[in-house]
Structure 1
Amino acid sequence: MSEPRLNTVNLADRMANSAQFKALYAEGMGLVEETANYLDGPGRTSSKSLPRIAAVLYAAESMRLTTRLMQMASWLLLQRAVNNGEMNRDQVMAEKSKVRLDSFNCDRSAPGWVDLPENFRDLVERSLRIQNRVAMLDREIYRPEEAAAIKPDNENSVQAQQHLLQTVFSRR
């Protein structure tokens, strides 16, 4: 007798080609544009009136924020290229090695954080949430062994996929 074959579905690959990915892509790219508009307009104006320590933190966090968003946007563009058949997986893996999704976090307890403009702090928070969603999706698609290592010991495969879906689709 032959063993029955398992017909498993990789939910991460499915999600990467779904309407939800398009929504994540739109949200991420929209945040890039919103952040650029803020930093070039109201953010520039409000940063001039910050106390010295907050002004230094604003400058540092602005660089981290824009770097974080550019890395995330690069990943989203690469995944969209895969989805559209413009690049194959090997091409993406070569380019993706230049993208850093697990860095550029911020320290919300840093002196001056509470003095930063609320709109700016909101952009930082939203960018961190999207970065986490993209990083999780990246691990599930391109580094499943690493994603499996992150799971708690008592979590089964169904729970892991539910956790992935919950994280990827979590909204503000």
Structure 2
Amino acid sequence: MTNPAFGGTTLAARLVDALYTEAMLLADETRGYFDDAGQIERDALPPRLRVEFACEALKATTRLMQVIGWLLMRKAVHAGELPEGSGTADNRRLGEAPPLDPAVVTRLPHAARRLLANGEDLYQRVRRMDEGIEAPAAEPTASPALSLLHRLERSL
């Protein structure tokens, strides 16, 4: 599935590649934060908020792994390793991710809030792509000007 107009790949494949790179960088940054600096910030929080911090961190990593898995599947489809229609099977769709808890997130350190928001944003963008793969193409709406032109042609 190559298109010479786009350097030998389709625009969709290039978008998946870019999102995959973004997801891997964000996953690495998130892992680094929650393993290192985040631990120091977490330890300074009250006990209940520490637990909530850990729950949001688990949600973040789950969300990112779902995104990475979906993007890897799309990369395989674009590379011809999987048949084109296989990406629309229910077991190949983007998994549901638990939503962020805004009441908790607002009380977390700034770096954690930023990473959680970036992960949620990436997940929502990929989710829209996943939903759009099976969405039927919208019927083009008739142009009023074109309709008038056709009526004029018929009247002559």
Q: Structure 2 length as normaliser, TM-score?
A: 0.73
Q: Displacement, 1:15?
A: 4.1
Which of 129, 135, 142 is the equivalent residue of 1:137?
Answer: 129
Q: Which has the larger radius of gyration?
A: 2
Measure the CA separation in 1 of the matches of 2:113 and 2:79.
34
Aligned to 1:23: 18
Deviations 1:87-124 (A, max 9, x none): 11354436415x41x4321121x2x4333111111010
Identity across the alignment (%): 32
Alignment of 1:127-166 (within 5 A): 127-141=119-133, 143-145=134-136
Question: Gapped runs of 5+ residues in structure 2?
Answer: 1-9, 142-156
Given residue 17 of structure 1, which amino acid in structure 2 is its aligned partner?
Answer: A
Take 2:17 and 2:58, find their aligned partners in 1: how far apart are those partners?
27
Cα distance in 2 for partners of 1:65, 1:86 equals: 29
**Counterpart for residue 80 of structure 1:** 75
Q: In structure 1, the residue corresponding to 2:132 is in which secondary structure?
A: helix
Q: Which residue number in structure 1 is paired with residue 92 of structure 2?
A: 96
- Alignment correspondent of 1:117: 109
Report the CA distance shift for 1:91/1:21 in structure 2 as closer, same or farther (over 3 A): closer
| Match 2:38 to one of 38, 43, 48 | 43
For the residues of structure 1 that align with 2:125 and 2:131, how far apart are their CA atoms?
10
Deviation sequence 1:49-80 (CA, Å, 0-9, x none): 11123212101101111111111110011111
Return closer, same or farther for 1:62/1:22 CA change in 2, 3 Å cut-off: same
On the 8 A contact 2:27/2:64 being kept in 1, the answer is yes
Which of 55, 59, 73 aligns to 1:60? It is 55
* Contact kept? 1:58, 1:116, Cα under 8 Å: yes
Aligned residues: 131
CA contact (8 A) 1:61 1:106 kept: yes
Q: What's the C-alpha RMSD, in Å, of the aligned pairs?
A: 2.4
- Structure 1 unmatched ranges of 5 or more: 1-13, 149-155, 159-172
- Distance in 2 (alpha carbons) for counterparts of 1:51 and 1:113: 14
1:14-72 C-alpha deviation (Å, 9 max, x unpaired)? 54223x33221211111111111111111122111111232121011011111111111
TM-score scaled by length of structure 1:
0.67
Report if the CA contact (8 A) 1:65-1:127 is conserved: yes
